Protein backbone atom coordinates (compact mmCIF):
# COMPACT_ATOMS: atom_id res chain seq x y z
CA UNK A 1 0.00 0.00 0.00
CA UNK A 2 1.21 3.49 -0.79
CA UNK A 3 2.04 5.80 2.07
CA UNK A 4 1.26 9.49 1.98
CA UNK A 5 3.42 12.24 3.48
CA UNK A 6 1.30 14.78 5.33
CA UNK A 7 1.60 18.52 4.65
CA UNK A 8 3.74 20.35 7.21
CA UNK A 9 2.77 23.64 8.82
CA UNK A 10 4.83 26.63 7.71
CA UNK A 11 5.01 27.70 11.36
CA UNK A 12 5.64 24.45 13.23
CA UNK A 13 5.26 24.31 16.99
CA UNK A 14 7.16 21.03 17.33
CA UNK A 15 10.17 19.41 15.69
CA UNK A 16 9.90 15.67 14.99
CA UNK A 17 12.93 13.61 16.06
CA UNK A 18 11.72 10.10 15.17
CA UNK A 19 9.69 9.14 12.07
CA UNK A 20 5.95 9.03 12.84
CA UNK A 21 3.25 7.06 11.07
CA UNK A 22 -0.45 7.85 11.53
CA UNK A 23 -2.30 4.54 11.21
CA UNK A 24 -5.50 6.20 10.03
CA UNK A 25 -6.93 7.68 6.86
CA UNK A 26 -9.01 10.17 8.84
CA UNK A 27 -8.48 13.68 7.47
CA UNK A 28 -9.43 15.12 10.88
CA UNK A 29 -6.63 13.26 12.68
CA UNK A 30 -4.18 14.12 9.92
CA UNK A 31 -5.05 17.82 10.11
CA UNK A 32 -4.60 17.94 13.89
CA UNK A 33 -1.04 16.61 13.65
CA UNK A 34 -0.13 18.61 10.56
CA UNK A 35 -1.33 21.89 12.08
CA UNK A 36 1.32 21.55 14.80
CA UNK A 37 4.13 20.96 12.33
CA UNK A 38 4.63 17.27 13.08
CA UNK A 39 6.30 15.30 10.28
CA UNK A 40 4.49 12.04 9.60
CA UNK A 41 3.21 9.65 6.98
CA UNK A 42 -0.35 8.42 6.66
CA UNK A 43 -0.59 4.62 6.51
CA UNK A 44 -4.17 3.39 7.06
CA UNK A 45 -4.41 0.08 8.87
CA UNK A 46 -5.44 -3.03 6.95
CA UNK A 47 -6.73 -4.76 10.09
CA UNK A 48 -10.30 -6.02 10.07
CA UNK A 49 -12.53 -4.39 12.69
CA UNK A 50 -14.66 -7.01 14.47
CA UNK A 51 -17.96 -6.06 16.02
CA UNK A 52 -18.09 -5.56 19.79
CA UNK A 53 -18.43 -8.72 21.83
CA UNK A 54 -21.08 -9.13 24.55
CA UNK A 55 -20.00 -7.25 27.65
CA UNK A 56 -17.63 -4.95 25.75
CA UNK A 57 -17.53 -1.47 27.23
CA UNK A 58 -17.04 1.46 24.84
CA UNK A 59 -13.65 2.11 26.46
CA UNK A 60 -12.33 -1.45 26.15
CA UNK A 61 -13.61 -1.82 22.60
CA UNK A 62 -12.10 1.47 21.39
CA UNK A 63 -8.74 0.69 23.00
CA UNK A 64 -8.70 -2.84 21.56
CA UNK A 65 -9.45 -1.56 18.06
CA UNK A 66 -6.77 1.13 18.30
CA UNK A 67 -4.16 -1.36 19.46
CA UNK A 68 -5.11 -3.83 16.75
CA UNK A 69 -4.77 -1.14 14.06
CA UNK A 70 -1.53 0.18 15.49
CA UNK A 71 0.21 -3.17 15.74
CA UNK A 72 -0.75 -4.12 12.19
CA UNK A 73 0.86 -0.94 10.85
CA UNK A 74 3.86 -1.26 13.20
CA UNK A 75 4.66 -4.66 11.68
CA UNK A 76 5.04 -2.94 8.31
CA UNK A 77 6.91 0.08 9.67
CA UNK A 78 9.03 -1.23 12.57
CA UNK A 79 11.38 1.77 12.61
CA UNK A 80 8.64 4.34 13.15
CA UNK A 81 6.50 5.59 15.98
CA UNK A 82 2.92 4.57 15.18
CA UNK A 83 -0.16 6.50 16.28
CA UNK A 84 -3.48 4.65 16.00
CA UNK A 85 -6.94 5.62 17.19
CA UNK A 86 -10.52 4.41 17.14
CA UNK A 87 -13.52 6.56 18.03
CA UNK A 88 -16.93 5.26 19.11
CA UNK A 89 -20.17 6.86 20.24
CA UNK A 90 -22.07 5.39 23.17
CA UNK A 91 -25.49 6.10 24.62
CA UNK A 92 -26.11 4.57 28.05
CA UNK A 93 -23.29 2.12 27.37
CA UNK A 94 -24.65 1.01 24.00
CA UNK A 95 -22.22 1.47 21.10
CA UNK A 96 -23.39 3.34 18.02
CA UNK A 97 -21.15 2.71 15.03
CA UNK A 98 -21.33 4.06 11.51
CA UNK A 99 -24.87 3.92 10.06
CA UNK A 100 -25.70 1.25 7.50
CA UNK A 101 -27.83 3.64 5.45
CA UNK A 102 -29.83 6.89 5.68
CA UNK A 103 -32.61 5.20 7.62
CA UNK A 104 -30.15 3.90 10.17
CA UNK A 105 -28.51 7.35 10.42
CA UNK A 106 -31.88 8.93 11.17
CA UNK A 107 -32.57 6.27 13.80
CA UNK A 108 -29.27 7.01 15.56
CA UNK A 109 -29.83 10.76 15.51
CA UNK A 110 -33.32 10.32 16.94
CA UNK A 111 -31.80 8.32 19.79
CA UNK A 112 -29.23 11.05 20.51
CA UNK A 113 -31.39 14.14 20.15
CA UNK A 114 -32.13 15.95 23.41
CA UNK A 115 -29.82 13.63 25.37
CA UNK A 116 -26.22 13.38 26.55
CA UNK A 117 -24.01 10.70 25.05
CA UNK A 118 -20.34 9.80 25.28
CA UNK A 119 -17.68 9.92 22.60
CA UNK A 120 -14.79 7.58 23.42
CA UNK A 121 -11.51 7.46 21.53
CA UNK A 122 -9.06 4.66 22.17
CA UNK A 123 -5.42 5.42 21.32
CA UNK A 124 -2.36 3.25 20.86
CA UNK A 125 1.12 4.73 20.44
CA UNK A 126 3.91 2.29 19.63
CA UNK A 127 7.66 2.85 19.74
CA UNK A 128 10.16 0.96 17.58
CA UNK A 129 10.98 -2.07 19.68
CA UNK A 130 7.45 -2.60 20.95
CA UNK A 131 6.97 -0.26 23.92
CA UNK A 132 3.44 1.11 23.85
CA UNK A 133 1.00 3.48 25.49
CA UNK A 134 -2.67 2.50 25.28
CA UNK A 135 -5.33 4.78 26.72
CA UNK A 136 -8.72 6.30 26.06
CA UNK A 137 -10.47 9.65 26.43
CA UNK A 138 -14.18 10.16 27.05
CA UNK A 139 -16.17 13.31 26.32
CA UNK A 140 -19.81 14.01 27.18
CA UNK A 141 -21.79 15.58 24.34
CA UNK A 142 -25.25 17.07 24.86
CA UNK A 143 -27.48 17.22 21.80
CA UNK A 144 -30.16 19.86 21.43
CA UNK A 145 -33.73 18.65 20.89
CA UNK A 146 -33.85 18.84 17.10
CA UNK A 147 -37.03 18.13 15.16
CA UNK A 148 -37.55 15.14 12.90
CA UNK A 149 -37.47 17.48 9.91
CA UNK A 150 -34.10 18.94 10.95
CA UNK A 151 -32.60 15.50 11.42
CA UNK A 152 -33.94 14.27 8.08
CA UNK A 153 -32.51 17.34 6.34
CA UNK A 154 -29.14 16.71 7.95
CA UNK A 155 -29.13 13.06 6.86
CA UNK A 156 -29.91 14.26 3.31
CA UNK A 157 -26.62 16.21 3.25
CA UNK A 158 -24.77 12.90 3.25
CA UNK A 159 -22.43 13.90 6.07
CA UNK A 160 -23.66 11.26 8.60
CA UNK A 161 -22.99 8.36 6.23
CA UNK A 162 -19.50 7.42 7.47
CA UNK A 163 -19.53 8.92 10.95
CA UNK A 164 -19.81 7.05 14.24
CA UNK A 165 -23.10 8.10 15.80
CA UNK A 166 -24.16 9.59 12.44
CA UNK A 167 -22.86 13.12 12.99
CA UNK A 168 -19.71 15.23 12.62
CA UNK A 169 -19.19 17.91 15.26
CA UNK A 170 -16.54 19.59 13.09
CA UNK A 171 -18.92 19.77 10.14
CA UNK A 172 -22.57 20.56 9.54
CA UNK A 173 -23.44 18.41 12.55
CA UNK A 174 -22.24 21.18 14.88
CA UNK A 175 -25.76 22.64 14.70
CA UNK A 176 -27.02 19.67 16.72
CA UNK A 177 -24.56 20.07 19.61
CA UNK A 178 -25.66 22.04 22.65
CA UNK A 179 -22.76 21.39 25.02
CA UNK A 180 -19.43 19.56 25.17
CA UNK A 181 -17.88 18.53 28.48
CA UNK A 182 -14.32 17.34 28.01
CA UNK A 183 -11.92 17.26 25.07
CA UNK A 184 -13.33 18.70 21.85
CA UNK A 185 -10.56 17.15 19.75
CA UNK A 186 -11.53 13.78 21.19
CA UNK A 187 -15.02 14.18 19.73
CA UNK A 188 -13.47 14.96 16.35
CA UNK A 189 -11.35 11.80 16.60
CA UNK A 190 -8.12 12.31 18.53
CA UNK A 191 -7.49 13.44 22.15
CA UNK A 192 -4.66 15.67 20.98
CA UNK A 193 -3.41 16.91 24.36
CA UNK A 194 -2.94 13.35 25.66
CA UNK A 195 -1.22 12.19 22.46
CA UNK A 196 1.20 15.13 22.61
CA UNK A 197 1.89 14.39 26.28
CA UNK A 198 3.09 10.88 25.37
CA UNK A 199 5.12 12.02 22.36
CA UNK A 200 6.87 14.69 24.46
CA UNK A 201 7.52 12.25 27.31
CA UNK A 202 9.13 9.80 24.91
CA UNK A 203 11.19 12.54 23.23
CA UNK A 204 9.62 11.84 19.85
CA UNK A 205 8.85 15.53 19.41
CA UNK A 206 10.33 18.64 21.01
CA UNK A 207 9.16 22.26 21.01
CA UNK A 208 10.47 24.10 17.99
CA UNK A 209 13.24 26.55 18.80
CA UNK A 210 12.48 30.13 17.83
Active site residue 86: yes
Catalytic residue among 31, 56, 86, 100: 86
CB proximity list for 83: less than 8 A, separation 6 or greater: 20, 21, 22, 23, 24, 33, 40, 70, 123, 124, 125, 195
The residue length of the chain stands at 210
Specify whether the CB–CB gap between 79 and 47 falls below 8 A: no
According to DSSP, the residues that pair with 79 across neighbouring strands are: none
- Cα three-residue angle 36-43-195, rounded to 5 degrees: 40
CA distances from 10 to 16, 38, 134, 185, 199 (A): 14, 11, 31, 22, 21
d(CA 138, CA 122): 9
Q: Which of 29, 34, 42 is nearest to 2 (CA)?
A: 42
**154 contacts 166 by C-beta, under 8 angstroms:** no
Q: What are the respective helix, strand and coil percentages of the chain, to the nearest 5? A: 35, 25, 35
Our separate counts of H helices and E strands in the chain read 6, 10
Kindly list the catalytic residues. 86
Amino acid sequence: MKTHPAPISTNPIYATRTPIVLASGSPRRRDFLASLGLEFRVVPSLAEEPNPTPGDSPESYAQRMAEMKGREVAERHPDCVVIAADTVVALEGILLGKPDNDEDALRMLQLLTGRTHQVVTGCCLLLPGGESAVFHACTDVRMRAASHEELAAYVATGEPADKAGAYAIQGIGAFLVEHVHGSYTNVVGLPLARVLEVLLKWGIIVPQQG
